[in-house]
Amino acid sequence: MTDAANPANATTESALAPTPGHGRVLLAAPRGYCAGVDRAVETVEKALEKYGAPVYVRKEIVHNRYVVDTLAERGAVFVDQTFEAPEGAHLVFSAHGVSPAVHEEARSLSLKTLDATCPLVTKVHNEVKRFARDGYHILLVGHEGHEEVEGTAGEAPDVTHLVDGVEGVEKLPDFLHNEKLVWLSQTTLSVDETMEIVKLLHEKFEHLQDPPSDDICYATQNRQVAVKAIAADSDLFIVVGSQNSSNSKRLVEVALQAGSKAAYLVDYAKQIDPSWLEGVHTVGLSSGASVPEILVQEVLAFLAERGFSDVEEVTTAAEKITFALPRDLRPQHN
């Protein structure tokens, strides 16, 4: 019940968290691990099993603190640059993908590479290659400095132009009418914001072509739809995920845009400030695509201890997608 629905109690109750059993949690589904993250994490686990520690991983395998720390404890060594892995070592490329230049560098160092790039990121790489080959300029909607964008743009750096946010549209050069133009995107963007940017791109470049299919992946889209479904009924929205996780950050933005009064991103339950719960009756809860369910369960336990024990899961889609492991780690190769 909201204060507005019970005005007689608004002043006295609004400053307090609900008494046990009176607070409600709306739990978004789908949430958490997507097929690409599942595959990437399993790639490192299987590589450790098959080859033994250390197995080197270029960048964070997925953008989640807990996942990275857990794999590091098991013998994964995370490096920022390819050359930090010793010659001949096993090196895993993260789910975000890498440019051809990075593949080449790994080859020159005789590294044994395992590619955990999500197949849906690889799909965008292939689109960049194809459109570049066909003479297009590519307007890549995405966040500057994000590893996925660096890898994707690296497929055709001379003809790929990054569009970072609405402001990025103005920064683009003027393309002539006879120059072929197509837009593509990072896989983990806000669907609504991307559509706004694309609308501006179409206004600026009348001859701009749309991509053959969506680049924002099914998991990103499904998690945003699930958050939207419950955000308006939430006084507070908690998204479990790391600060450098693009899709997790987008969920916080989506929750606020869809009507939640407040929204926060936390890695762990212990980061929840109890003062956030003051006057709150309904908490919306979700997690980014790189977040293991155990972290969500810890948040649910934290909330239950503070009176939010009525949990309702709201499901907006069923996900059945899985991706096969890199060839060298499939069972027949053991």
- Out of 95, 198, 231, 299, name the contact with ligand SF4 by CB under 6 A: 95
Q: Burial, 54: exposed, middle or buried (Cβ in 10 Å; 0-12, 13-18, 19+)?
A: middle
Q: Which of 60, 127, 147, 148 is catalytic?
A: 148
Distance CA 29, CA 16 (A): 28
Out of 247, 260, 282, 287, which residue is the one contacting ligand SF4 (CB under 6 A)?
247
d(CA 109, CA 323): 29
Give residues 157-186 in contact with ligand SF4 (rule: CB under 6 A).
none
Q: Considering the rule CB under 6 A, would residue 118 count as an interface residue with ligand SF4?
A: yes
| Count of residues interacting with ligand SF4 (CB under 6 A) | 15
Chain residues 29-48 in contact with ligand SF4, contact rule CB under 6 A: 34-37
- Taking CB under 6 A as the binding criterion, the range among 98-106, 130-138, 217-225, 305-313 that sits at the site for ligand SF4 is 217-225
Rounded distance, CA 15 to CA 189, Å?
36
| Residue from 113, 188, 242, 248 in contact with ligand SF4 (CB under 6 A) | 188
By the rule CB under 6 A, 189 interacts with ligand SF4 = no
Nearer CB in complex with ligand SF4: 37/132: 37
Q: Is 148 a catalytic residue?
A: yes
- What's phi and psi for 213, nearest 5 deg? -155, 170
- By CB under 6 A, residue 68 contacts ligand SF4: no
Hunting for tokens 């990075």 — which residue is that? 102
> Nearer to ligand SF4 by C-beta: 120 or 182?
120
219 interacts with ligand SF4 by CB under 6 A: yes
Number of residue whose CB is nearest ligand SF4:
36
Binding flags for ligand SF4, 260-299, as an x/- string (CB under 6 A) = -----------------------------x----------
Dmax (CA) for the chain in angstroms is: 73
Q: Does 117 bind ligand SF4 (CB under 6 A)?
A: no
* 54 phi and psi angles, rounded to 5 deg: -85, 145
Among 44, 106, 120, 295, binds ligand SF4 (CB under 6 A): 120
Both structure tokens of 82: 């390819």
Q: Fill in the amino acid letter for 260.
A: S
- 187 lies in the site for ligand SF4, by CB under 6 A: yes
Q: Is 116 in the site for ligand SF4 (CB under 6 A)?
A: no
> Token pair for residue 231?
């955000």
Question: Smallest Cα–Cα separation from 187: which of 156, 148, 225, 224?
Answer: 148
Q: Would you give the distance in Å from CA 270 to the centre of its chain?
A: 22
Which of 41, 55, 102, 217 binds ligand SF4 (CB under 6 A)? It is 217
Residue 84 CB, shortest distance to ligand SF4, in Å, is: 24
**Kind and range of the H or E element at 221?**
helix 218-231
| CB closer to ligand SF4, 95 vs 182 | 95
Q: Could you tell me which of 222, 213, 311 has the C-alpha nearest to residue 33? A: 222
> What is the C-alpha separation between 177 and 196, in angstroms, rounded?
22
User: Which residues are tagged catalytic?
Assistant: 148
